[in-house]
Structure 1
Amino acid sequence: MADGDDQQSLSQSIKGRLQQGVQNSVFRDKGLLDPDAVIDEDRIVGRDEQLDDIITYLRPALQGNRPPNMLLYGPSGTGKSLIINAVCQQVLELANSQDNQFGVIKINCQTIKSHDRAVYRLVENAAIEAGVEVGVPESGISTDQKLKRFYEILSTEFDSVIIILDEVDLLVGRQRDPSDDPAYSKLLYQLSRASQLGRIEGHVSVAALTNDPRFMEELDGRAESSFNPQDVVFPDYDANQLQAILERRRDAYQDDVLEDGIIPLSAAFAAQDHGDARKAIDLFRKAGEIADRGGEDFVREEHVRGAQEEAERDRTLTQMQGLSSQKKLSLYATAIVPIHAERNLKAVPSTVAYRVYTYIADLLDADEKSRDSYLRYMSEAETYNFVTSEKRGRGYGSGVHKEYTFVDDPSVVADTLADDIRLDELDYDESLIKSVVNAQVDDFFEGN
Structure 2
Amino acid sequence: MVSDGTEDGVSSQSIKSRLEEGTQNTVFRDKSLLNPDRVIDEDRIVGRDQQLDDVINSLQPALRGSRPPNLLLYGPSGTGKSLIINAVCQQIEALAVNQGDRFGVIDINCQTISTHDRAVYRLVESAAESAGVEPEVPQTGVSTDHKLSRLYEILDEEFDSGIIILDEIDLLTGRTRDQRSEPGYSKLLYQLSRTAQVGEIDSRISVAALTNDPRFMEDLDGRAESSFNPEDVTFPDYDANELRSILTYRRDAYRDGVLGDDVVPLSAAHAAQDHGDARKAIDLFRKAGELADRHGDNTVLEDHVREAQEEAARDRTLTQMRGLSAQKKLALYSAAVVSVFDDQLDAVPNTLGYDVYQYLADLVDIDQKSRDTYLRYLSESETYNFVVSKTEGHGYGSGVHKEYSFVDDPKTVMETLEKGIRMDEITDNKELIESVVDAQVSEFLER
Q: Does TM-score exceed 0.5, indicating one fold?
A: yes
Specify the SS of the correspondent of 1:28: coil
Q: What's 2:376 paired with?
A: 376
- Return the alpha-carbon distance in structure 2 between the equivalents of residues 13 and 98 of structure 1: 54
- Return the alpha-carbon distance in structure 1 between the equivalents of residues 285 and 4 of structure 2: 40
TM-score by length of 2: 0.95
Distance 1:203 1:40, change over 3 A: same
Q: What's 2:198 paired with?
A: 197
Query: Structure 1 residue 95 and structure 2 residue 96: aligned?
Result: yes
Structure 1 runs of 4+ with >6 Å offset: 3-7
Specify the SS of the correspondent of 1:129: helix
Specify the SS of the correspondent of 1:208: strand
Query: Structure 1 residue 400 and structure 2 residue 407: aligned?
Result: no
Q: What's 1:338 paired with?
A: 339
Distance 1:91 1:258, change over 3 A: same
CA offset digits 1:219-259 (Å, max 9, x no partner): 11111111110000001111111111111111111111111
Unaligned runs of 5+ in 2: 6-10
Deviates more, 1:204-213 or 1:184-193: 184-193
Specify the SS of the correspondent of 1:133: coil
- Return the alpha-carbon distance in structure 1 between the equivalents of residues 262 and 442 of structure 2: 40
CA contact (8 A) 2:78 2:280 kept: yes
Distance 1:205 1:54, change over 3 A: same
- Return the alpha-carbon distance in structure 1 between the equivalents of residues 88 and 427 of structure 2: 60
CA contact (8 A) 1:382 1:388 kept: yes
Summarize the alignment of residues 138-157 of structure 1 with structure 2, pairs less than 5 Å apart.
Answer: 138-157=139-158
Q: What's 2:131 paired with?
A: 130
Specify the SS of the correspondent of 2:108: strand
CA contact (8 A) 1:290 1:307 kept: yes
Q: What's 1:13 paired with?
A: 14
- Return the alpha-carbon distance in structure 2 between the equivalents of residues 18 and 331 of structure 1: 42
Q: What's 2:409 paired with?
A: 409
Q: What's 2:31 paired with?
A: 30
Summarize the alignment of residues 295-444 of structure 1 with structure 2, pairs less than 5 Å apart.
Answer: 295-341=296-342, 343-394=343-394, 398-424=398-424, 428-444=428-444
- Return the alpha-carbon distance in structure 1 between the equivalents of residues 4 and 44 of structure 2: 49
- Return the alpha-carbon distance in structure 1 between the equivalents of residues 213 and 286 of structure 2: 28
Distance 1:141 1:11, change over 3 A: farther
Specify the SS of the correspondent of 1:390: strand
CA offset digits 1:309-366 (Å, max 9, x no partner): 111111111211332211110111111113222x343212222222111111110111
Aligned-partner residue type, residue 387 of structure 2: V
Distance 1:288 1:395, change over 3 A: farther
Aligned-partner residue type, residue 352 of structure 1: L
Aligned-partner residue type, residue 435 of structure 2: S
Superposition deviation, residue 12 in structure 1: 7.5
Distance 1:120 1:338, change over 3 A: same
Specify the SS of the correspondent of 1:392: strand
- Return the alpha-carbon distance in structure 2 between the equivalents of residues 5 and 297 of structure 1: 29
- Return the alpha-carbon distance in structure 1 between the equivalents of residues 402 and 263 of structure 2: 38
Q: What's 2:122 paired with?
A: 121
Superposition deviation, residue 420 in structure 1: 1.1
- Return the alpha-carbon distance in structure 2 between the equivalents of residues 291 and 299 of structure 1: 6
- Return the alpha-carbon distance in structure 2 between the equivalents of residues 347 and 435 of structure 1: 18
Please, what is the CA RMSD of the aligned residues? 1.9
Distance 1:327 1:12, change over 3 A: closer
Q: What's 2:246 paired with?
A: 245
Paired residues, number: 443
CA contact (8 A) 2:124 2:151 kept: yes
Superposition deviation, residue 398 in structure 1: 4.9
Distance 1:257 1:344, change over 3 A: farther
CA contact (8 A) 1:71 1:208 kept: yes
CA contact (8 A) 1:351 1:395 kept: no
- Return the alpha-carbon distance in structure 2 between the equivalents of residues 395 and 350 of structure 1: 16
- Return the alpha-carbon distance in structure 2 between the equivalents of residues 158 and 285 of structure 1: 38
Q: What's 2:286 paired with?
A: 285
CA contact (8 A) 2:28 2:289 kept: yes
Query: Structure 1 residue 59 and structure 2 residue 60: aligned?
Result: yes
Q: What's 1:77 paired with?
A: 78
Summarize the alignment of residues 213-252 of structure 1 with structure 2, pairs less than 5 Å apart.
Answer: 213-252=214-253
CA contact (8 A) 1:175 1:181 kept: no
Specify the SS of the correspondent of 1:99: coil
CA contact (8 A) 1:69 1:205 kept: yes
CA contact (8 A) 1:396 1:444 kept: no
Specify the SS of the correspondent of 2:14: helix
Aligned-partner residue type, residue 413 of structure 2: V
CA contact (8 A) 2:341 2:438 kept: yes
CA contact (8 A) 2:160 2:204 kept: yes
CA contact (8 A) 2:4 2:13 kept: no
Aligned-partner residue type, residue 69 of structure 1: N
Aligned-partner residue type, residue 379 of structure 1: S
- Return the alpha-carbon distance in structure 2 between the equivalents of residues 237 and 282 of structure 1: 15
- Return the alpha-carbon distance in structure 2 between the equivalents of residues 374 and 424 of structure 1: 22
- Return the alpha-carbon distance in structure 2 between the equivalents of residues 333 and 157 of structure 1: 60
- Return the alpha-carbon distance in structure 2 between the equivalents of residues 373 and 33 of structure 1: 45
CA contact (8 A) 1:65 1:203 kept: yes
Aligned-partner residue type, residue 284 of structure 1: F
Q: What's 1:165 paired with?
A: 166
Quick one: percent identity of the two aligned structures? 69
- Return the alpha-carbon distance in structure 2 between the equivalents of residues 196 and 214 of structure 1: 25
Aligned-partner residue type, residue 66 of structure 1: R
CA contact (8 A) 1:78 1:235 kept: yes
CA contact (8 A) 2:387 2:404 kept: yes
CA contact (8 A) 1:43 1:248 kept: yes
Deviates more, 1:437-446 or 1:146-155: 437-446
Specify the SS of the correspondent of 2:196: coil
CA contact (8 A) 2:237 2:276 kept: yes
Distance 1:377 1:57, change over 3 A: same
CA contact (8 A) 2:335 2:348 kept: yes
Unaligned runs of 5+ in 1: none
- Return the alpha-carbon distance in structure 1 between the equivalents of residues 197 and 427 of structure 2: 72
Specify the SS of the correspondent of 2:62: helix
Aligned-partner residue type, residue 213 of structure 1: P
CA offset digits 1:359-417 (Å, max 9, x no partner): 11110111112222221111111111111111111479852112211111111000010
Distance 1:349 1:4, change over 3 A: closer
Specify the SS of the correspondent of 1:212: coil
